[in-house]
Amino acid sequence: MPDVRIKTPNLDDIFERWKTKAGRTQRKQMEKQFGTKGSVFTLEAISAAEYVTPPALKGAAIYFSIKKTIAASSVKEENLVIAPRLGRETFYSFKGSRDIDKDNWKGNEEVPMFESIEPVPCKTCRGNGYIEDKCKPCKGTGKIVETWAVLVGEEQKKEKKTFEYPCGNCYGTGKLPSPCKECGGHKNLYKYEILPVPFKTVAMGIPILHSSLQTKYEKEMGKDLQELIEKVEGIKFSNFKELNNKAEGSLGYWDKNVKKTISASGSDYKTHEKDKDTKIQSQIYLFPMVGLNCKTKKGKKFEIYSIGSAENFMIYSNF
């Protein structure tokens, strides 16, 4: 591509563009800040020569857009609870209904899934539902042993004799079952997963803008350029090697901040190129930028920024 020089808008044109817009959308504020008491307010009395504080700042902006495929989240969480607690949870089922439209969805994006519920045998009671403890009355023998005094023979001599019978407390087993505290006697605990709602994959167009003036309007500028790219004049480049070689000649000015901005945007571009979920959607654009520091008649300070060439540019201000 042959070298192309792009003309930067001059200070007066930028100020006049801002003044016209502000006069239409912020008329009362303009009159308050620039008007003279007792005189009819007119925009013609407001000039860059009087209200712009030199010097004007010159910079550059690098813009390109990407298309990023936003896949469903891979977040996964597991919960383990006793059976009665399952009913207190709200479960969701997407069996046979994938690709949910995210715009129509209301609620959390990660939810408990009904189909994920699985029984897990309780480790404490080994899936029996109860724990067997030694019966205290029979000391785990299953028998009650009593010693009686028996009168023997005509002499009625006392002799000690033992008598055994099954323990009524444990039914002769020697063990007493008690509900397992871990599973509540339900034999199992229940595992379920909290998974992302299966939203359909979305491809999003995302503007990327780097500015050497580092204004707070970069996000807004990027969004506007994405929609109005053909209405703002810049120079197109196919790659950053070409941009690096021709940026200074194209702009007609150069400084370390412009150089750093081109380097940073080039690194960003390479990162997106390597991302398998991202596709570079546009060419690389170089835009001149101008920043004006202004002060109203009443002493209010504000800024005006332009992006684009003298032929077609956009303005941004915090007035």
Residues near 302 by beta carbon (within 8 Å), at least 6 away in sequence: 294, 295, 296, 317, 318, 319
Is the CB of residue 257 less than 8 Å from the CB of residue 212? yes
Q: What percent of the chain has pLDDT over 70?
A: 99
Per the structure block, which two tokens stand in for 303? 């800024």
List, in sequence order, the alpha helices (H) in the chain.
11-25, 27-34, 48-51, 83-86, 218-228, 240-251, 256-274
DSSP three-state, residue 164: strand
Say whether pLDDT at 97 is over 80: no
Confidence band for 147, pLDDT divided at 50, 70 and 90:
very high
Is the CB of residue 310 less than 8 Å from the CB of residue 7? yes
pLDDT at 2: 53
Domain definitions of the chain by residue range: 11-70+202-317, 77-124+182-196, 130-179
Say whether pLDDT at 156 is over 90: yes
pLDDT tens, position by position, 106-146: 999 899 999 999 999 999 999 999 999 999 999 999 999 99
Say whether pLDDT at 183 is over 90: yes
Confidence band for 272, pLDDT divided at 50, 70 and 90:
very high
pLDDT tens, position by position, 8-35: 999 999 999 999 999 999 999 999 999 9
pLDDT at 22: 96
pLDDT at 277: 85
pLDDT tens, position by position, 67-86: 988 776 778 899 999 999 99
Across 264-274, average pLDDT? 94
pLDDT at 230: 83
pLDDT at 187: 95
pLDDT tens, position by position, 230-265: 889 999 999 999 999 999 999 999 999 999 999 999
pLDDT at 38: 85
Confidence band for 199, pLDDT divided at 50, 70 and 90:
confident
Report the amino acid identity of residue 177: P
Per the structure block, which two tokens stand in for 302? 């504000």
Half-sphere exposure of residue 217: CA atoms within 13 angstroms, side-chain side: 18
Spell 258-274 as b/e; 16+ CB within 10 A means b. beebbeebbeebeebee
Residues near 308 by beta carbon (within 8 Å), at least 6 away in sequence: 9, 232, 233, 234, 287, 288, 314
DSSP three-state, residue 256: helix
pLDDT at 3: 64
CA distance 78 to 57: 56
Extract long-range pairs of 149-155: CB within 8 Å, 24+ residues apart. Answer: none
- How high does pLDDT run on average in the chain? 92
CA distance 112 to 250: 57
Spell 168-205 as b/e; 16+ CB within 10 A means b. eebeeebebeeebeebebbbbbbebbbbbbebeeeeee
